[in-house]
Amino acid sequence: MSNSKGEINVQKSLHVAVLAFPFGTHAAPLVSIVRKIAEEAPNVTFSFFSTKKSNATLFSSSDEFHLPNIKHYDVPDGLPEGYVPSGHPLEPIFRFIKAMPENYKIVVGEAVIETEKKITCFVTDAFYWFGADLADEMNAKWVPVWTAGPHALLTHFYTDLIREKFGNNKVDDVEKAKFLPGFPELEASDLPEGVIEDIDGPFGTMLHKMGQALPRATAVSINSFSTLHSIIENELNSKFKLLLNVGPFILTTPQRTISDEHDCLAWLNKHESFSVVYISFGSSIIPPPHELVALAESLEECGFPFLWAFRGNPEEQFPKGFIERTRARGKIVAWAPQMEILKHSSVGVCLTHSGWNSVLDCIVGGVPMISRPFFGDQKMNARMIESVWEIGVRVENGVLSKESILKGLELTMSSERGRFMRKNIVKLKESALEAVGENGTSAKNLNTLIQIVTR
């Protein structure tokens, strides 16, 4: 990158506002992509906006990626003073969504006054449709970042068409969404919440507005790589001014070092190639009690060694005696270095909730999946994994039963179809590595993104 005096002076006047969605696994990937951009443009000022709670997690005092040109600001969380939770887990998110356009606008204004620099570019979570209006008001660029997959993004673009075809109610699954390019197998029940169900709720409204606003963006950046699904890629390309696949983020952006405090890798070293079942439902999901029991019973019966990253309390939530009976071939840990585990030769399959970050982790690791999706884009990811990419299977009827788990394990670990899935996912892994290589599409797109944001 050229660093002439004129260019440095221009960069010193630039001010990038980064607006994060502080729930689920949205903010961390946004931080990682912004750190990459800020690293390449040390003279540009970056102001990062999220809630106090979210910022405390993202910018800890032990931060290994501290950059002097990124400063974070706390945005109010939308909860009234003395707020007493109603018990509805989504209520804090709904209250935040309702208050967020105005709250962000106020705190962005404060950052402009403090830095004495007007905003030249908004980099926002793609959810934030109002980024288009803010950018227009301030004569700035708008670069939304979509942290999920391209197929989910396309459904939000086509929400009006989907609602027209399906009606606004939950419809019979016999009706397939064949009118969507690249989705030969999609069923109504695979669609994310808010597309044809609960359309007037906070999420439905937010995602619908997002789908309508994205064509106004300077560029839409996405955590994917261009050879993953060319039909959907072409469709999105035709809808937006510029689509930039800059993923997988785990390969293109700085990643935190995850400690292996429970010696998972040493444990994996003792096992044969492709013999271990790795289980993880992400950072926030714990399956319901009857499904945990079914999973424990299946692991006991199947005979495969297993490594389970479990967020709850195993002593309380697993069947009595399960931990003792499986100690010789099972390892249950509270935290695991997932990417390193999935790259390990002994792992044969990953039982997953099919969140997009985990799907990309499995692709980069070359590990087939058994999917038990829960909400959001997870059902659609599971459908793509099974029907389009053929790199895994969904559990039958969408729930963990002893029968569905044993069948999934048999298919992925012991059958000819399982070997076919492994071949397919290794091909995708090679495509991902090629995309992030020196002349790869993601590497080139990342350079384009850096230019757009910092010029």
Catalytic positions, written as ranges? 26, 125
Give the integer Cα–Cα distance in Å for 95 and 51. 13
Using CB atoms within 10 A of its CB, is residue 103 exposed (0-12), middle (13-18) or buried (19+)? middle
Q: How many CA atoms lie within 13 A of 224 on its CB side?
A: 24
Give the integer Cα–Cα distance in Å for 375 and 90. 13
Cβ-Cβ contacts under 8 Å for 381 (sequence gap 6 or more): 149, 151, 152, 354, 355, 356, 359, 371, 373
Pair 359, 339: CB distance under 8 Å: no
Q: At what angle do helices 91-115 and 202-213 cross, to 10 degrees?
A: 50
Give the integer Cα–Cα distance in Å for 427 and 177. 27
One-character DSSP codes across 377-441: THHHHHHIIIIIS-SEEEPGGGS--HHHHHHHHIIIIISHHHHHHHHHHHHHHHHHHHHHSTT-H
Cα 435 to Cα 78, 152, 168, 432, 450: the distances in Å are 40, 21, 39, 5, 17
- Going edge to edge, which strands form the sheet with 15-19? 70-74, 45-50, 15-19, 121-125, 141-146, 220-222, 243-245
Give the integer Cα–Cα distance in Å for 210 and 217. 11
Give the integer Cα–Cα distance in Å for 26 and 289. 27
